[in-house]
Structure 1
Amino acid sequence: MDILTKLPETETTAAATTPGRSYQPPPAMDSEKVDELEEIIGYKFNDRNLIEQAMTHPSFVRGNRNSSYDRLEYLGDSIISVLFTKLHYFEYSNFSSGHLTPLRASNIDSEKLARVAIKHHLHTYLRHNKPLLEDQIKKFSSDILEYPLHSTGLIEVPKVLADIVESTIGAVFVDSNCCFETVWTVFKDILEPIIDAKTLKRHPMTELCEICQKNSLKVKMVDSWAQNSSIHVYVGDKLLGTGTYPLKKEVAQNRAAKSALNNLADMGITMTTVPERKPVTTPVDVNNINDEPRTSTPIEVEKLEETLGYKFNNQSLIEQALTHSSYADDINSHYDRLEYIGDSVLTALFTKLHYFLYPQLSSGRLTPLRASNIDTEKLARAAVRHGLHTYLRHDKPLLQDQVLKTLLQPFISIETLKRHPVTELYEMCQKNHLKLKFVDLWVETYTINVYIDDQLVGTASYAPKKEIAQNRAAKCALQNINTLIDIKSSQI
C-alpha cells in the first residue's frame, strides 16, 4: 500500500492505550451538534467520529490523548500551510520567498485562525475540562474588536481556538481521502478575510528593528517584566516605548515596540522616510575579467528525469530548480521560489505519512520524527546520493568543496530516530538530578566544554560553526556520563 496515496480504512482514529489499564472512550457528541458543525463547515462527513475528535480537547480525555484533537491539529497545521503556500506562489509570481513567508505566516498564525474560530462559533462546540478557557475566549473576543484584521501580536491568543480550526482542517483532509483540493474548496471562504500583500502588516518588533537599522539608530529592550509586567524600548539613550501586560511577556514586548514606532512616527521617522542607500558593489578583480558574456550551461534534463523517475511537462521547471541565485538574477530563473513551495509540500507529505504510519503516536512524538526526515542534512544526503548536486548551476567557487561524502540512509522511522545530543544530555541530567553547564569558549578557541556537577565530561572544537562544536561536546559528554552516574550512585 502506498501510504501517501491510499488511506488506511481502520486507523483514522486509532488510539494508544496503556497496557493493563482500561480506557473508556469519550461520550459521543450530540448528533444535532454534529449536524450543526457540518452545516457551518459546509461539508458532510463520511466518518462523523473525525469531527467529534476535532472538537475534543485533551483535557476532556485525560486517559487517552489520541482521542483528542491533538493528532488532527498536527496534520491540519501542515495542510493549511501547503495550501497557502500554493495560493501565494501562483498569485504573486514575482515575490521572492522572503516576501512570501510573512504573507503566509499572517494567514495561518494563531491569532488569524483563532479569529476564524470565533467568527464561525466553532469554540461553542469544543468539549473540554479547562475552567479558565471560557474567560480567555471572552477576553479575546472583546480584544479583537480593536483590531479588525490582525493585531500583529498586541493581544493574547488562546491557542486552543487556532487548534480547533487546524484539527477541523485535518478532519476534512482525512475524511476526503486526503484531497487537498477538497479541503481548499471547503475552507477558502471560512478563512476569509485572507490577508494579501496590500493588507499585510509587519510585526512591530520586525518593523522597529528595520527602521532603526536603516536609520543607524541603536535599539535596546529593557526587560522589567518579572518586576512590574513591563518592557521598555530605548532608541539611542531615549525611552521611546513602554508595554505592559501581566499575562504574557511577548505581548508586553510587542506593545512596547508598537509604542516606540508611534513615537518615531511623531518624530517623522517611518519606513517611508528611510533614505535610500546606494547598492553595495562587489570589487572587480581586474586580473580575472572575462570579456566574453557567459553562456547558459544546459542541464541534461533527460538524464535527470531518469534519476527522478518523472517526466516533466515543463522542462524549464527542473532547470530553474537546479539554478542557484548566484547564477541568475531574475527571481523566476533560480530555485528560490520552487524551494519555498517544495519545503512546504515535503513537510505535508511526511506529516501525512507519519500520521497514518504511527496511529499510536501523539503530535509531540511525531514532530521530531518528521523533523529528522526533512532537515537540511537529511536532504543534503539525498542530493549527494542521487547526484543532484552535479547538475547545479552556480557561481560559488567554494561550493564544490562544501559538498562532501554521505549517502542517504533509509527514511528515519520511530525505531531509528536518534535524539539530538544536547536534548538527550539535558534529559539525562534532569532525570539523574545532575547539574549541567555548557562553557562557551568558541570565540576564543572554537571550543565548547560540558561540565556536569562541576566536572569536565565533554569537550569539542569546530571552527566553521559553533552549533556543531556544541553538539559534539554534548555527544562526548553522553559517552562519559554513565561513569559519573555510577560514581554518584556508589556514594549514596
Structure 2
Amino acid sequence: MNKERKEDLKDLCKILSIEMSDLYLLSTALTHTSYAHESKEIPKPAHSERLEFLGDSVLGLVVSTYMYRRFPKMDEGELTKLRAHLVCEASLAKHARKVGLGKYILLGKGELISGGRERASILADAFESVIGAYYLDQGLEKVNDYILNLMQEELLMMAKHGLCYDYKTRLQEMVQKDGIVEIVYQLMDATGPDHDKIFETAVLINGKVNGQGSGKSKKEAEQHAAKQALLKLGDNVC
C-alpha cells in the first residue's frame, strides 16, 4: 500500500469516527472485485467479498439483538420486516453516501466509467465490508456501538412507530421539516369488479402531484403513492 492510500484511509477513519490498527484490512474492504481482477500486481490484491459476507452477518446480529430486546412483544415476522428495512441496500447506500465512502473504493476501469462510485449496490456492499473489517480489527462491542449510533435516527423512529411507521408517516415527517404542511391523497381511479378492485391514488404536496400508486385497497394505493413521493424527494426508501 502506498503512502497516499494510507493517508486517505486515515482520513476516512476520522470521517467515520473509528480507529483501525490494520489499515490493510480496511483497504481490502474497499477493494472491489473488478479492481482486483484487473490489477497487474503479483499476487493479485485481496478484494472485499469475504469481508462483505462477514459484515452482512455482523449487521444482522447487531440489529437483530437490538430489536429482540427493544420489542419484546413482536413476533418473528414483524422483527424480520423491521430488520429488512434497516439493512436493505438503499439504507446502507444512504449511510455510505453520507460519509463519502465511494471516494475510497478501488474500482476497475469499467466500473469507474459506468459510475460505480455512486451505484447503490457497490456502496452498500462496501459499507458491509467496512463493518466486517472494523469488527475483525476492534471487536463486537465497538462495532455494536458504531452501528447503533449510526442508525440512531431509524431506530428512534422504529421505537416510536414500530410497524406502523409507514411511507405515509415518513412522508409527513419529511415535508414537515421543510415547512410544507398540506398533503392530500386523491383517488384518481378504481377499476375492476367490486370483489377485486384496483385503486389508483395520487399524493399532492401543496397542490402538486408528487407521486402516484395503485393497490387493492385505498390504503395500499396511498402507501405506494407516498413511497413514490419519497423517492422523488430524494429519500432512499426500501
- TM bin, normalised by shorter chain, reads 0.5 to 0.7
- 1:161 to 1:192, Cα distance in 2 relative to 1, 3 A: farther
Give me the whole-angstrom Cα distance separating, in 1, the residues matched to 2:113 and 2:149. Answer: 26
- What do residues 394-450 of structure 1 show as CA deviations (whole Å, max 9, x unaligned)? xxxxxxxxxxxxxxxxxxxxxxxxxxxxxxxxxxxxxxxxxxxxxxxxxxxxxxxxx
Aligned length: 178
Q: Work out the CA distance in 2 between the residues paired with 1:172 and 1:164.
A: 12
Structure 2 counterpart SS, 1:193? helix
Whole-angstrom CA distance in 2 between matches of 1:191 and 1:66: 32
Q: Is the contact between residue 57 and residue 69 of structure 1 (CA under 8 Å) also seen in structure 2?
A: yes
* TM-align CA RMSD: 3.3
Task: Note the 1:111-260 alignment, pairs <5 A.
Answer: 111-133=90-112, 136=115, 158-176=120-138, 179-194=139-154, 196=158, 197=162, 199-201=165-167, 216-217=195-196, 235=198, 259-260=213-214
Which residue of 87, 90, 95 maps to 2:66?
Answer: 87
TM-score normalised to the size of structure 1?
A: 0.32
Aligned-residue offset at 1:136? 4.2
The corresponding residue for 1:40 is 15
Match of 1:432 in 2: none
| Aligned AA (2:214) | A
Counterpart pick for 2:83 among 97, 104, 113 = 104
The verdict on how the C-alpha distance between 1:92 and 1:51 changes in structure 2, with shifts beyond 3 A counting, is: same
> CA separation in 2, counterparts of 1:134 and 1:91?
44
Q: Distance in 1 between matches of 2:133 and 2:112?
A: 23
* 1:259 counterpart SS class: strand
1:135 deviation in Å?
Answer: 5.5
Q: Give how far 1:71 is off.
A: 0.6
Q: Summarize deviations over 1:43-98 as a string: whole Å, max 9, x none.
A: 22121111111111111111677701111001000110111101111111111111
Q: What's the secondary structure of 1:93's corresponding residue?
A: coil
Paired AA for residue 187 in structure 1: I
Distance 2:97 2:221 in 1: 35
CA distance 1:81–1:134, change in 2 (3 Å) = farther
Residues 52 and 128 in structure 2, CA contact (< 8 A), matched pair in contact too: yes
What secondary structure does 1:112 align onto? helix
SS at the partner of 1:184?
helix
Structure 1 spans left out of the alignment, 5+ residues: 1-25, 141-156, 203-214, 219-234, 242-257, 274-492
Corresponding residue of 2:27: 52
In the TM superposition, what is the alpha-carbon distance from 1:161 to its structure 2 partner?
A: 0.4
Distance 1:71 1:271, change over 3 A: same
| Letter of the structure 2 residue corresponding to residue 86 of structure 1 | T
TM-score, normalised relative to structure 2:
0.64
Q: Which has the higher helix share?
A: 2
Shift of 1:260: 1.4
1:194, distance to aligned residue in structure 2 (A): 1.9
Conserved? CA contact 1:106–1:200, under 8 Å: no
Matched, 1:71 2:47: no
Q: Distance in 1 between matches of 2:220 and 2:15?
A: 41
Choose 1 or 2 for highest CA Rg.
Answer: 1
Cα deviation for residue 30 of structure 1 reads 1.8
Shift of 1:199: 3.5
Contact 1:41/1:187 (8 A) holds in 2: no
| Contact 2:93-2:123 at 8 Å conserved across structures | yes
Structure 1 stretches of 4+ with a deviation exceeding 4 A read 26-29, 63-66, 132-138
CA contact (8 A) 2:214 2:220 kept: no
Q: 1:134 to 1:103 in 2, by over 3 A?
A: farther
Aligned amino acid, residue 150 of structure 2: I
